[in-house]
Structure 1
């Protein structure tokens, strides 16, 4: 019996959930048994996916992970931005140390270990660079989701890098999705000044509020301290806040909207080619996506002085370039499929 283990951090963020679900669906075509780690019990169970509970501070969880790796033929680590240090880094904190630990443990157990197509940021700390060099050296070959991630890895090590696309591109729904009159907004509170976010939201409302436009907000993060806390602070009415429970609910909300304006990377990925997009870049991963996906965007570090006047211009550009966005999304879907064909 062939068994695969996917080691990731799904649990609270719908982007991580999208990667886990899409990867499980694809790998089940090749393996008899596939299990997936989660930091929040029940997250993947609702999709019928066998869960392995991950708690980095629990000895019993480490024992369980050890057994799961030992029993697997192939270990897939990812996805998301695993090579990054902007959210902190320590022995038991930060995603990069988690990535390194899983790579080392899999190699100690002599397993065939691969990364799902992951993101790699430009690292800012000495510890981050050391951890990344060790992990990439052990792997020898690394799979990445965009060219910018590949360039960042090559600056650190001489690894062979394979550029594919995020597995979330492969998520499908069987139903036909009708378009509505909503403009859907996805904001992020994580490590961003509230004044900046309020300026963006005020500009969006000023630019788009009309009888023809119905503005809604989607929470891609389930924890109260992020989007839900931000939307409350921005005084968004509760009936204008969408809180999808599953990734398929999120897909329906995103793809039924007439326009998506988003900071969350996976909101953009799930809408790419289905809904005209306007990106708000807070990290290199969002900027890289927008450049490769032909999506107009503005950067948090360089907001236009008259943002409310710029927004309609950028939306019109997105509408006129929608066919180009669809072609770019089709190519990304092909690359995501190629990963599972090759691995």
Structure 2
């Protein structure tokens, strides 16, 4: 079965590319052949080893017509906080696939924020999908409010939680800070203050940007620190896995830390960050944040809750099972 995959792919955002890594792996293990709608098909094909086509309408519509089904996800696609244009794009793909008679699925998404008009536009696309798998409880409740039938609705989790941790040596004295571009300066400056206090306390501090072309101004604030900027999810995952603690203003700084087994705390620039920290039992702060409180959780390596994380990974796997059935057993050499 060939399935077209849609998300924020091909833009060099390490978090979204980590989602795609997990989607591709889980799809292929279930006998599904993914075709990715991408802003940079050549880069997507090189990074993920799958077929990709331009996400712009003519090529995307042709891919939907050729595919056996369409998957929207993962990430925060169905919201109009970013823009109505973004919501219209992702909904148009769902509606087009449904008009073509293709089965559609929504996987690993946070729904909203959605205004009244956004809810009216989104609800029919969700109700007509074969399965809607959301990644947090707030989205689950919102989907119910929009009339998604219970037999179609599943509480899942972010697909990137299923990524296998890289084999790297962890430095317990290394704290990785993940700022975010286009936030109010004060949020990143508070993180900078924590970085200085940690360095004064004898810790190594690394500053990690997730999206070239987006995070440069934020990284510029951290002059004098060890800085990395990469949209490569493999490199970003390795750097996080080698850290003793992560303080992140990006959701996937937290999710990749969870997948790697690195403790973390997050700054809630969006409801999805608070939702993930609460469900995983990790500390979080409302922006701009209290540097002393942030310093304390880093020094004590507070959170998350291991049992809660296990539950989230089970939920992530069950989301795929709900759509495509249980995956085939990996080859023996992979299990070894």
Q: Which residue of 1 aligns with 2:50?
A: 49
User: 1:267 aligned to 243, 253, 268, which one?
Assistant: 253
CA separation of 1:320/1:67 partners in 2, compared to 1, >3 Å: closer, same or farther?
closer
Aligned length: 317
> After the TM superposition, which residues 55-204 of structure 1 pair with which residues of structure 2 at under 5 Å, given as runs?
55=56, 62-89=57-84, 93-94=85-86, 96-123=87-114, 125-139=115-129, 141-160=131-150, 161-173=153-165, 175-180=166-171, 181-190=173-182, 192-198=183-189, 200-204=190-194
Change (3 A) 1:206 1:33: closer
Task: Say which of 301, 307, 325 aligns to 1:327.
Answer: 307
Give the 3 Å change call, closer, same or farther, for CA 129–321 of structure 1 in structure 2: closer
Residue 80 and residue 212 in structure 1: after superposition, are their counterparts in 2 closer, same or farther (change >3 A)?
same
Distance between the aligned counterparts of 2:263 and 2:222, measured in 1?
26
List runs of 5+ in structure 1 lacking aligned partners: 56-61
Does the residue aligned with 1:120 lie in a helix, a strand or coil? coil
- Checking the alignment, whether the CA contact within 8 Å between 2:16 and 2:75 is kept in structure 1 is yes
Higher relative contact order (CA 8 A, sep 6+): 2
SS in 1 for 2:108: coil
Residue aligned with 2:186, SS: helix
CA contact (8 A) 2:103 2:129 kept: no
Whether contact under 8 Å (1:103, 1:138) holds in the other structure is no
Give the TM-score normalised by the residue count of structure 2. Answer: 0.87
Change in 2 beyond 3 A, CA 1:235/1:246: closer
- Segments of 5+ residues of structure 2 without an aligned counterpart are 324-336
Comparing 160-169 with 130-139, greater Cα deviation is found at 130-139
Please give the root-mean-square deviation of Cα atoms over the aligned residues, in Å: 2.1
Q: 1:337, CA displacement in angstroms?
A: 1.3
Determine if contact 1:10/1:43 at 8 Å carries over to the other structure: no
Q: Give the aligned partner of residue 59 of structure 1.
A: none
Q: 1:340 to 1:126 in 2, by over 3 A?
A: closer
TM-score relative to the length of structure 1? 0.86
Distance in 2, matches of 1:236 and 1:155, equals 47
1:228 paired to 2:216:
yes
Match of 1:25 in 2: 25
Equivalent residue for 2:228, pick from 242, 256, 260: 242
Q: Distance in 2 between matches of 1:257 and 1:196?
A: 22
